[in-house]
Amino acid sequence: MICQCESCHLKTLFYSSIRLDEIEGYCSSRREIGVKAGEDLIKQGEEIRDFIYLKEGLVKLYRKSDNGQIQIIRFGKPFDFVSLLSVFSDDKYNYSVSAIEDSVACVFDLSEIKQLILTNGAFAMHLIEIQNRASDLIIMNTLDLLQKRLYGRVASVLLYFAIEIYKSDEFELPISRKEIAQYIGMSIENVIRVISAFRKDKIIQVYGKNLAILDRERLERMRDLS
Q: What is the pLDDT of residue 16?
A: 64
Using a 10 angstrom Cβ sphere, with 0-12 exposed, 13-18 middle and 19 or more buried, the burial of residue 145 is middle
CB 213 within 8 A of CB 156: no
The CA-atom distances, in angstroms, between 76 and each of 23, 32, 102, 158 are 25, 17, 13, 15
pLDDT level of residue 20 (50, 70, 90 thresholds):
low
At the top level of CATH, the class of 5-145 is mainly beta
CATH tag, 149-225: 1.10.10.10
**Looking at the predicted structure, is the pLDDT value of residue 2 above 50?**
no
**Looking at the predicted structure, is the pLDDT value of residue 25 above 80?**
no
Q: Give ranges for CATH 1.10.10.10 in the chain.
A: 149-225
Q: Give ranges for CATH 2.60.120.10 in the chain.
A: 5-145
If one compares 5 and 23, the residue with the highest pLDDT of the two is 23
Share of the chain above pLDDT 70, in %: 87
Q: What is the pLDDT of residue 1?
A: 41
pLDDT level of residue 79 (50, 70, 90 thresholds):
confident
pLDDT level of residue 21 (50, 70, 90 thresholds):
low
Q: Average pLDDT of 105-131?
A: 85
**Looking at the predicted structure, is the pLDDT value of residue 6 above 60?**
no
Note the pTM of the prediction, 2 decimals: 0.86
Average pLDDT, the chain: 88
Q: What is the pLDDT of residue 74?
A: 93
**Looking at the predicted structure, is the pLDDT value of residue 4 above 60?**
no
